A and B are shown apart, each in its own frame.
Chain A
């Protein structure tokens, strides 16, 4: 529109011949139809998994945390491993929606809605772990600074564990607001298209009465820009604070200043891997290949190879510093990581996180959908092992050799972890069925600059001389001329 123009050299973000109406049709159709058989199978399986998780957690709450494999030396085990893993995954959504918005990256429009949804569900899963790790979960509200009958004993505001409470609840709230404020106009679209009474009522409620007036769009854009500006430091702060849980302690292997950037890079790394896992399936099942293109997947694979390499540098730096410090505790901790009883977890981490993502330097592989899918799973496994390595292999041999131990999880711990997968996918399946998976209004916004059929017309403009381009553009937009010609 107007002088907004993008070179035809840039890959289109929307493939095929689309107009505004076709975009609405393609994305809203799956919501209006009946879900397929695969949806029911997946949904029921997720609900069953969630049920098993609830059972495992109930068991642990009823009998106490003695049912878990954690012991005096390894106090955090699978529970906090899973917490850090899920919260890391929850970083991609806000990164895509906030940082890429500030950088004006058009490709975010195809993937931001699903990625933000993933963020919210992942943070919901993450939050369960520290809550139930409290053991006496009914006293969980003690972390909140509420006046109480214990002399009004307040929580410790100097503690990274309390910073975590604030960071994660803020992160969840802000991500939810960002996500939902973007959904409102799309709900209005579903409402206005709705043929059935119930759908009209439900989406009428969900759309808050949005009608898309010029002023409301202006305010919405201001809101999204500021929320993006707030979310960008927020997303960096959340995993920084999670890393403080470790870095402010005096445990060898945890007590390092590299943790904040290293955790944030790892979080982005695993988050993008999870986005790829979900989107490769979603685009296939909902036939959204024209909106979530190979180009989108490639862009995310590039981020994966970048952040994977950052994480790799961090691993090597840790090793170097432990030797350079000449501290016996540090050196022993890293020696045991590599060659001790948990050597397999260290090498699984190294292979999955550092070695295998390097394959993404090859363009052919970055643009290969099955390979992207497999790699996204590999990266997620690798990142899980990274958290496991940090938590377990730093603590199982502590300062007193008499209390050295070997930790392995019990079934309620594994069940809890599986249960969060149930929670995550239950939410995701409901999202994929009832919510527009791609941000319709944002796709329409970029359609005329980045849509395939509109870009085809750009070639002509690209080959024009600058004088001709300006001339055509100005006469075309001299509105009075156009109108007079029409009369």
Chain B
């Protein structure tokens, strides 16, 4: 496990959070991440995150669905087992539109959702460190990694000055692991002292 040291600041208002993000970034700190209880619009831009390309993935999955449907049905009806249904030609494209449409939607939706889970690294059984139990309730929690070149006191004092309600230092696993949410992880004992 890659356990690192983080300075954690909790804000209780977006109006305070946004100036704080700007201040933190312009002072040269690198934000590890910000955890919010809901989608705060503009936060990604304020943090300097790029936009997501998830919708492009969705478009490609949709095209896969379209070609699967048209390819499969035309192979079946024109080559594998041609049958005349109701006097229609073997290649009865208009009659295939409903299924083609449904498979386009199905592939796009399922593919996008799985990609979403993969990109966010979420799945049943995955556990991640929660910096503040109220980060899903009413606090906006910013974590900054403290490396060996940084002063712990200076960082926390700086965060306090940006208007944070609570500031502390935590040892945390930065990534994800398989674990049970009802069990304390061994490294979490480091934060008790």
Q: Contact residues of A with B, CB < 8 Å?
A: 1-2, 19-21, 24, 145, 151-154, 156-160, 162-163, 166-167, 170, 173-174, 177-178, 181, 184-185, 188-189, 191-193, 197-198, 200-201, 203-206, 208-223, 225-227, 230-231, 233-234, 237, 241, 244, 441-442, 444-445, 448, 479-480, 482-483, 486-487
Contacts and interface: CB of A to CB of B under 8 A. Distances in A.
B19 interface: yes
A121 to B, nearest CB: 19
Contact of B38 (A197, A210, A215, A442): A442
Interface stretch (B2-10, B42-50, B144-152, B185-193): B42-50
Contacts of B137: 20-21, 24, 189, 192-193
A2 B41 CA distance: 10
A213 B40 CA distance: 10
A465 B49 CA distance: 36
Contacts of B163: 483, 486
Tell me which of B22, B125, B136 has the highest count of chain A C-beta atoms within 10 A of its own C-beta. B136
A255 B26 CA distance: 69
A367 B59 CA distance: 42
- The secondary-structure label for the interface of chain A is helix
B37 A20 contact: yes
Interface in B54-68: 54-55, 58, 62
Q: Of B36, B40, B120, B138, which is in contact with the most chain A CB atoms at under 10 Å from its CB?
A: B120
B62 to A, nearest CB: 8
24 contacts: A24-B137, A145-B76, A156-B83, A158-B92, A162-B99, A177-B110, A185-B136, A193-B133, A200-B181, A209-B123, A209-B126, A214-B36, A214-B43, A214-B44, A217-B40, A217-B43, A218-B39, A218-B44, A219-B116, A219-B119, A222-B52, A223-B113, A234-B102, A483-B162
Contacts of A174: 105-106, 109
Interface in B13-54: 14-15, 18-19, 22-23, 33-40, 42-44, 47, 49, 51-52, 54
Interface centre among A152, A174, A193, A218 (most CB of B within 10 A): A218
A174 B86 CA distance: 32
A2 B52 CA distance: 23
Contacts of A177: 109-110, 113
A13 to B, nearest CB: 15
Contact of B86 (A153, A158, A193): A158
A440 to B, nearest CB: 8
Of A19, A21, A189, A223, most buried by chain B (CB within 10 Å of CB) is: A223
Contact of B49 (A184, A191, A215, A442): A215
A188 B136 contact: yes
A42 B42 CA distance: 45
A173 B38 CA distance: 25
A227 B19 CA distance: 33
B18 A211 contact: no
B157 interface: no
Contacts of B119: 219
Contacts of A244: 98
Contacts of A162: 99
Interface centre among B38, B161, B162, B180 (most CB of A within 10 A): B38
B85 to A, nearest CB: 5
A260 to B, nearest CB: 11
B138 to A, nearest CB: 4
A384 to B, nearest CB: 26
B124 A206 contact: yes
Contacts of B18: 2, 479
B173 to A, nearest CB: 12
B182 interface: yes
A205 B125 contact: yes
Contacts of A444: 37-38
Contacts of B101: 233, 237
Given A209-B122, A226-B58, A170 B103 contact: yes
B41 to A, nearest CB: 8
A178 B108 CA distance: 12
B124 A222 contact: no
Contacts of B42: 2
Given A214-B36, A218-B44, A223-B116, A170 B105 contact: yes
Given A209-B122, A214-B44, A227-B109, A441 B33 contact: no
Contacts of A167: 98, 102
